[in-house]
Amino acid sequence: MLLHVHPDNPNPRHIKTIVECLQDGGIIIYPTDTIYGLGCNIFQHKAIERIARIKQMDPAKAQLSFVCYDLSDLSKYTRSISTPLYRLLKNYLPGPFTFILPASREVPKLLQSKKSTIGLRIPDNNIARTIVHELGSPILSASLPGEMVEEYTDPELIYENFKNRVDIVVDGGMGSMVPSTVIDCTTDEYTVLRQGAGVWNEAEV
């Protein structure tokens, strides 16, 4: 299904359709503040495995992130967040960043890497955050597979490519070709693992 959703004022009926799909173990492709992403409910193991198959990767190695509504999920899914780090996250989020943080025991084991870390995303995108808010828990997020970057900006082309592999493609308008900036915050020296759309100021750290 290709579902057109208004980027600023998402129709509650459309959001309900998407949330019910996620609750039932479905997979969506949805807009963020950067590129379109693959998403599912973090507690639906079969959905996670489906995403891993689409990505052709082991779930624990697939560079999957949690998309959250706000920082209130931090205490549940991460551990040992210092006050300075919390302030830093609050300064940069919502925004085009993925922060690598220590995972708590609440994170499904299927998703924990050997290093027991997760990627945290709070995109500055009303559709993505509304979906997560109505679902009541984070959604798992992964980039689309392959290198068809330009085709991945257009929801209609995305639908043509993935309509047989996902349940809903959420059309929230044209996407970007630049992914989020990835920052590793699991050591004392925070490291930029991937430079993307977010501008990171090391002087603030």
What confidence tens digit (pLDDT) does each residue in 93-139 have?
999 999 999 888 877 766 655 568 889 999 999 999 999 999 999 99
Express each pLDDT in 186-198 by its tens digit: 988 899 999 999 9
CB 52 within 8 A of CB 58: yes
Task: Tell me what pLDDT residue 204 has.
Answer: 61
Residue 205: which pLDDT band, with cuts at 50, 70 and 90?
A: low
**C-beta of residue 15 within 8 angstroms of C-beta of residue 136:** no
> What CATH number does residue 31 fall under?
3.90.870.10
Number of structural domains the chain divides into:
1
Q: Is the pLDDT of residue 68 over 70?
A: yes
For the segment 142-179, what is each residue's pLDDT rounded down to a tens digit?
989 887 678 889 999 999 999 999 999 999 999 999 99
What confidence tier does 75 reach under pLDDT thresholds 50, 70, 90? confident
User: What pLDDT is attached to residue 62?
Assistant: 61
Which residue range(s) make up the domain with 190? 2-204
